[in-house]
Every structure is written in C-alpha cells, then in structure tokens.
C-alpha cells in the first residue's frame, strides 16, 4: 500500500545494502533524484538492474555503491561512453564491477516474466551471438508444440524498483505517460517500489496512452518536482541535452567526478534536486 | 562546385536506400540521421520505429537520443518496451532494420560489446547490445551504416553482438533467424552487399574520387570487388541542404556528433567533390 513520504524516508525504508535495485526509465522519466539519494545514504554492494544504464548509473558506479550491473546497453545516449562505467570495467575503479549483460528484448522479457510471476520468458533472440557464453540466465528451449528451438531468459525479481512518474493522487495511484519503457513491469516484478512524482493532484484525469499503477501495488511515493533531471517528464520538463553533453567531460576524470559528487549530491539535501540546472554542472 | 564531406556522402547514400512507405526500425546515431533525412526528402511516409516504443515518429529534427520527447509527441502510437520488441519487431513486421556498428566482419556480423583482448579485461568497453541482436535477427532486411577502417572492418570480431550471416551460407537458417539479414552496408567510402552465393560482403558501389584500392586498404580482410561495381552519384544540392538543415536544427551543443568509441576511419579527402 502506497505511503507518501519524503524521498530520504522512502530510500531509507526501501533499499538496503546488498539489494538488487532496478531504477528504470527509457531516456524519459529516469529517477535521478532517487539515485542521488541512494548515493547520499551511501548504500553499498548493490546489484543495479536496468536496460539502459546512463548517467545516473554512471554516478552510482563511480560513487562505489555498485557491486554488479545487469543491463543491455550502457552509454550516454547521443553522446558516447559512460566513463565511470568504463573505468570500473577496464580498471576496477573504484571497485571491480561484475557484469551480466543481455539484449534489450531479453531484458524486457525478463522483467515481464518477473511481473507475471513466471520463472522465465521465451523469445527469439541471442542465438548465434557471444552473449550466452558470458551471461547466466540464457538457455535454449524447445517448443513442446512445434519442436522449434527458442531462447529462454530467466525472470528478473528485483528487491526494489525505483521509477519517476508525472503524478499521483492523494490515495497513491500513480500516473505516467509518454515513453513508458519497462517501468510497469519493473514495479510489478519487484518486492518493493519507490515512485517519485512531479506532483500530487486531487484527481487523475485521463491522459492519452497513460499508465496508471494502483495504490496497492506501490510501496512508497515521494514528491520530487524535477526529480528526473537531466532526463525529463513529458508535460513538465524538457530533456537537458546540455547536461548529457557536459557529463562527458565531468565523468572522464576521477577527481573532477569526485568534486562534482561532493558539490551536487553529498552537498545537497534530497529536496534540492529540483533547483538543479545546467549551470550547476 | 558542390563540396561535401565523406560523412555527408554516407548519410545521403543511406537515406536514398530507404523507400517511401517502408517501416524502418531505427538505431541511434548515424542510422537515425539517415532515416530522418529520407523522411525530409524522398520518403515522407517512411514509418520510423524507435526501440523506446515510438511507432511512426515524425520529428522535425534529428533527435539526440532515441527517447527524446519529440519522438513520442509526433508518433502514431507509443507502446511499452516489451511490446515494441515482442509484438512489433519479433514477428517480422518491420521491413528494414537500420543499425550502426563498432566492428563488422565479412559476413556482416556486428560487434558493439568489447574490443580485445578478452571479455573480462577488454581494451575498450563499448555500450553493448541494446536492441540490435533482435533487430538484426527479425527485420526483413538490415542496413548497417558505419565509417570504414581496418579497425572497424575486422577480419575477426572480438565479440559477436548481432548476427549477420554467421559463418556463411545456411547459418541464419540453422540459428532460426527469421529475417533476411544484411542487404546493404553503407560506409564513408562506398557500399557493400552480400554475394548471393557466399554471403560475403563485396564492394558494389563506390563514391566519386575514392579509388578501389583505398577501400581495400581500409578493410581488415581481402575485400572482393563486384564485377558490376557502380559509381554512386554525389549528393544533390537539395539532399545536402536538407541534411545540413536537419543537423543544424539540433541544439548547438549537440553538433557535431560526438566521436564514436572506436576511432573513425581517416577521412583524408573530405571534400571529394571538388
């Protein structure tokens, strides 16, 4: 049942050291403020799951929160590499990073299987690639009806899913629209969930293509206006492309990254996310 | 005299390969530029599909990322990520997959994962698979757009992220890959197509001012040249203007495109038309 709390309370209650955490969002609605709160609370040994880890995961990796990454595409979209991720993989800094990598179709189906309460999902995928040689949770499976060989991928069952949404109502029903990614599946696959929202409204009037997650399927809701920045919330904010560009230089250098974390994450309260702008980088 | 860069020639050639009314699953970067150029020129009804779940996007500019708001706001339909892969891509509904690559081999197999020496201790860690393995598997045909060099056109891939023709004829059938595989590889030096008998990529098109020897020097295997090698027409004034307008419409900080993780091919004769 959804409890409406502060962001610091939500992260503190939902995420423990060693947890498997999926902070989802496909370019749109990425829960940056929640990720920063995880860094501020100095969670350790997390297994982070996400289809498209981008700069918030780069920050969580560089800050030393992360033991393992489960993913399908790790990059700064439209810009280039994730330098903290690469430094962890190529140089084990600040600590070694275990990888489990899949394709997007595989990850999407693994979340869907988790949401459906099934141990695995079936798809046409991975065959002929080098991925299965390095990745647990991928296996051939024969269709009992046609005899065709297909691919099975194991279900994802994170301890916690974290997402950002446009809004919730006072009862805790959550509504989001625009590019909706795999957030519904992530929340339903997880044991606990944290949703940050732009605002709480009296009534959720219908929106084209909107997803509504009912109050009883969510653990914690925190109001964090601008909580997706530098990602965006359709109808509320625009994607801060300049920050994604700027991140390339900030993240290349360990010291510059550490200084950035000190100033913009450790040095701020959870409520400070909304005021961040590109000039702050 | 019209002057243009090798990258512009590549993007224009890639755009020309798309026919009006096709459905196109668009990868990030160069493929997205080319697909948007096609829509802005000869193929206004090209259906752009992005893995973020947007079907029929009509952006007026090149999106910086595949999840930009403009893709959702201008789409015919926006679906979840599981749905775009399971209902739209997997059954073979999409005509062409438009992909980039860090490394490609003679059978059109693609690496976007790691560059040597070993998976656990890579020289360069690349972003990984994304949607490419299943796009390469299921689309009716695949076009790959990348800059050509001995590094990108590799004799042996360090990692097979997405399958082209595997190890040659019959591979796709054995693997159960339902789509047709690579039909075109478009680079900054020319165009390659698979030989219908051997499945090996051969040079079938070349740009004005680029000698065949230069394409071969920039290929990591012994590149064969088609008997029907054709010279590809340079960009028209209209094509170049449309491309430059598209790229200029991005935010100033977003252009020029950031360098790829793998060093691009040297483009010595950038102004090949002069």
Whole-angstrom Cα distance, residue B13 to residue A32?
A: 39
- The tokens for B149 are 């060099």
Q: Residues of B with CB below 8 A from A109's CB? A: 82, 85-86
Instruction: Flag whether residue B129 sits within 8 Å of chain A, measured between CB atoms.
Output: yes
User: Is B51 part of the annotated catalytic residue set?
Assistant: yes
Cβ atoms A249, A224 nearer than 8 A: no
Phi, psi values for residue B252, rounded to 5°: -55, -35
Per the confidence metrics, is the pTM higher than 0.90? yes
Q: Which residues of chain A have pLDDT under 70?
A: 271-272, 274-281
Is B261 a domain residue?
A: no
The structural domains of chain A, ordered by start, are: 3-102+157-275 (3.40.1080.10), 104-154 (no CATH)
Collect all residues with Cβ–Cβ distance below 8 Å to B10 and sequence separation of at least 6: B30, B145, B147, B186, B187, B188
Phi, psi values for residue A122, rounded to 5°: -115, 140
Q: Residues of B with CB below 8 A from A83's CB? A: none
Q: Residues of A with CB below 8 A from B113's CB? A: 101, 130-131
Per-residue pLDDT band at B116 (split at 50, 70, 90): confident
Q: Residues of A with CB below 8 A from B128's CB? A: 71-75, 101
DSSP 8-state secondary structure symbol assigned to residue A208:
T
Domain that holds residue B244: 6-254
- Whether B176 sits inside 8 A of A27 (CB atoms) is no
Is B244 a domain residue?
A: yes
pLDDT of residue A78: 83
Whole-angstrom Cα distance, residue A38 to residue A125?
A: 34
Please tell me the distance in Å from B23's CA to the nearest CA on chain A. 19
pLDDT of residue A216: 98
- Whether B129 sits inside 8 A of A131 (CB atoms) is yes
Instruction: Flag whether residue B92 sits within 8 Å of chain A, measured between CB atoms.
Output: no
Nearest to A73 among B54, B128, B162 (CB): B128
Number of domains observed in the structure of chain B = 1
Helix residue ranges, H only, B17-128: 30-40, 69-73, 81-83
Is B135 a domain residue?
A: yes
Whole-angstrom Cα distance, residue A23 to residue A37?
A: 12
Is B100 a domain residue?
A: yes
Residues 21-50 of B with CB under 8 A from A: 28-29
Q: Which of B8, B51, B134, B239 is catalytic?
A: B51
Q: Using alpha carbons only, what angle is made at residue B155 by residues A72 and B11, rounded to the nearest 5 degrees?
A: 65
- B195 burial level (CB within 10 Å; 0-12, 13-18, 19+): middle
pLDDT in tens, B144-201: 999 999 999 999 999 999 999 999 999 999 999 999 999 999 999 999 999 999 999 9
Nearest to A103 among B125, B133, B260 (CB): B133
Is B270 a domain residue?
A: no
- Whether A129 sits inside 8 A of B162 (CB atoms) is yes
pLDDT in tens, A132-165: 999 999 999 999 999 999 999 999 999 999 999 9
Is B1 a domain residue?
A: no
Please tell me the distance in Å from A107's CA to the nearest CA on chain B. 9
Q: What Rg value do the Cα atoms of chain A yield, rounded?
A: 18
Cβ atoms A13, B52 nearer than 8 A: no
Is B266 a domain residue?
A: no
> CATH number of the domain that B175 lies in?
3.40.1080.10
Q: How many CB pairs under 8 A join A and B?
A: 188
Which H/E stretch holds residue A91?
helix A83-91
Q: Residues of A with CB below 8 A from B173's CB? A: none
Residue B81 has pLDDT above 50, yes or no: yes
Q: ipTM of the predicted structure?
A: 0.94
Please tell me the distance in Å from A140's CA to the nearest CA on chain B. 11
pLDDT of residue B264: 34
Q: Which residue of A has its CA nearest to B258?
A: A79
Residue at token pair 């296996």? A139
Is B99 a domain residue?
A: yes
- Whether A103 sits inside 8 A of B134 (CB atoms) is yes
Collect all residues with Cβ–Cβ distance below 8 Å to B142 and sequence separation of at least 6: B96, B97, B98, B99, B108, B135, B136, B164, B179, B180, B181, B182, B183
């Amino acid at each position: 049942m959804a409890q409406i709390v502060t962001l610091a309370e939500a992260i503190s209650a939902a995420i423990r050291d060693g947890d498997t955490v999926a902070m989802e969002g496909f370019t749109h609605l990425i829960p940056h403020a929640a990720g920063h709160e995880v860094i501020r609370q100095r969670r350790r040994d997390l297994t982070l799951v996400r289809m498209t880890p981008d700069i918030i995961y780069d920050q969580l990796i560089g800050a030393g929160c992360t033991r393992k990454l489960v993913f399908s595409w790790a990059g700064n979209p439209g810009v280039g590499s994730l330098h903290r991720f690469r430094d962890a993989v190529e140089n084990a800094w600040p600590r070694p990073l275990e990888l489990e990598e899949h394709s997007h179709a595989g990850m999407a189906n693994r979340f869907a299987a988790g949401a459906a309460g099934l141990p695995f999902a079936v798809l046409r995928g991975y065959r002929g690639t080098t991925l299965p040689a390095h990745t647990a949770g991928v296996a051939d499976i024969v269709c009992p009806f046609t005899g065709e060989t297909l691919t099975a991928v194991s279900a994802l069952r994170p301890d916690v899913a974290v997402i950002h949404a446009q809004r919730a109502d006072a009862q805790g029903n959550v509504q989001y629209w625009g590019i909706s990614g795999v957030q519904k599946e992530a929340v339903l696959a997880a044991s606990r969930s944290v949703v940050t929202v732009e605002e709480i409204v009296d009534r959720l009037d219908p929106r084209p293509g909107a997803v509504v997650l009912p109050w009883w399927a969510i653990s914690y809701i925190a109001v964090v206006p601008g909580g997706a920045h530098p990602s965006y919330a359709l109808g509320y904010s625009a994607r801060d492309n300049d920050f994604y560009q700027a991140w390339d230089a900030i993240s290349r250098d360990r010291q510059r990254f550490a200084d950035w974390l000190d100033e913009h994450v450790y040095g701020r309260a959870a409520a400070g996310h909304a005021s961040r702008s590109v000039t702050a980088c | 005299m019209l002057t243009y860069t090798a990258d512009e020639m590549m993007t224009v050639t890639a755009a020309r390969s798309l026919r009006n009314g096709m459905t196109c699953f668009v990868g990030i970067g160069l493929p997205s530029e080319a697909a948007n150029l096609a829509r802005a020129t000869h193929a206004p009804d090209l259906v752009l599909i992005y893995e973020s779940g947007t079907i029929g996007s009509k952006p007026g500019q090149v999106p910086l990322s595949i999840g930009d708001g403009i893709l959702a706001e201008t789409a015919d339909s926006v679906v979840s990520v599981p749905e775009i892969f399971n209902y739209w891509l997997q059954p073979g509904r999409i005509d062409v997959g438009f992909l980039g690559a860090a490394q490609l081999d003679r059978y059109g197999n693609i690496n976007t994962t790691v560059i040597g020496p070993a998976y656990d201790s890579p020289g360069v860690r690349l972003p990984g698979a994304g949607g490419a393995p299943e796009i390469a598997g299921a689309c009716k045909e695949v076009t790959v757009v990348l800059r050509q060099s001995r590094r990108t056109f590799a004799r042996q891939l360090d990692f097979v992220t997405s399958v082209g023709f595997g190890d040659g004829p019959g591979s796709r059938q054995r693997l159960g890959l339902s789509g047709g595989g690579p039909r075109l590889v478009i680079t900054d030096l020319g165009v390659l197509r698979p030989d219908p008998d051997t499945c090996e990529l051969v040079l079938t098109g070349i740009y004005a001012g680029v000698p065949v020897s230069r394409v071969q020097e920039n290929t990591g295997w012994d590149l064969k040249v088609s008997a029907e090698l054709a010279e590809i027409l340079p960009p028209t004034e209209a094509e170049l203007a449309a491309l430059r307008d598209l790229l200029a419409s991005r935010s100033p900080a977003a252009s020029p495109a950031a360098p790829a993780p793998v060093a691009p091919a040297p483009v010595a004769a950038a102004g090949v038309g002069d």
